[in-house]
Amino acid sequence: MTMDKKTIVVVGAGQGLGNHVAKRFGKEGFRVILMARHGQALKAYEQEFTAEGIETSTHTVDAAKPETLTEALHWVKSTFGAPEVMVYNVGITVPDEPGKIDCEELMRRYQVDVVSAYHCLCQVADEEFSQKRGTFLVTGGGLALYPSAAYLPLSLDKAALRTMVYALHEALKPRDIFVGTVTVCGAIGGDGFFAPSRIAESYWKMYNERGACETVYAETNK
């Protein structure tokens, strides 16, 4: 284990965007920490990344249970120190019938989509993270800009997540902590414009440039 290697933590690892963002940084020499709910999948991802020469560790977490995130991030900091980059790539993206979402479910979604992102930032945004000019990025969505009744909880939550980023980007800038969002305006997948490998480039660019707090990833911006 190399202690001077930079570390990226990705909450919401998976074969789509999460793993592609992690690999983009891993190929630049970052140590990768993958976090998700399913331990068996994480083991497979770790083998895949290791075979590609990327130092990788995994930790099982559940964004609906913030205490699991607290435990996992404490382990990261005690083992490797504060990460240089953290990505929160979690969201419940299933469509819902209008009027079928009760208040309890709405709050459950909010916990996963928004509150746990804030919780992760609070866990890592310490003095060491500041000294490392840490970067905290979230995966936003076009529903924050163009809400849909069919995706009401996600529309509300992506709007709240975007607001959180804008507010904390300014609040944490004096501490050299960069907070940003890649707002993806389309269904992630395939080999075209919304291919996860292409979207991942926006995370790498945002990390390097540390400019505006939002990148709107939309075909109109090609």
CB 49 within 8 A of CB 124: no
The answer to whether residue 157 scores a pLDDT higher than 80 is yes
For residues 18 and 98, which has the higher predicted lDDT (pLDDT)?
18
Q: Which residues contact 67 (CB under 8 A, 6 or more apart)?
A: none
The answer to whether residue 1 scores a pLDDT higher than 60 is no
Per-residue pLDDT at 3: 61
- What confidence category does residue 114 fall into, taking pLDDT thresholds of 50, 70 and 90? very high
Pick the closest to residue 196 from 209, 208, 182 (CA basis): 182
The Cα 188–Cα 103 span in angstroms is 28
SS (H, E, C) 14-58: CCCHHHHHHHHHHCCCCEEEEEECCHHHHHHHHHHHHHCCCCEEE
CB 96 within 8 A of CB 151: yes
The Cα 109–Cα 115 span in angstroms is 9
What CATH topology corresponds to 7-217? Rossmann fold (3.40.50)
- Average pLDDT in the 136-152 region? 96
pTM: 0.95
Average pLDDT, the chain: 96
The answer to whether residue 2 scores a pLDDT higher than 80 is no
Per-residue pLDDT at 42: 98
Under DSSP, the state recorded for 112 is I
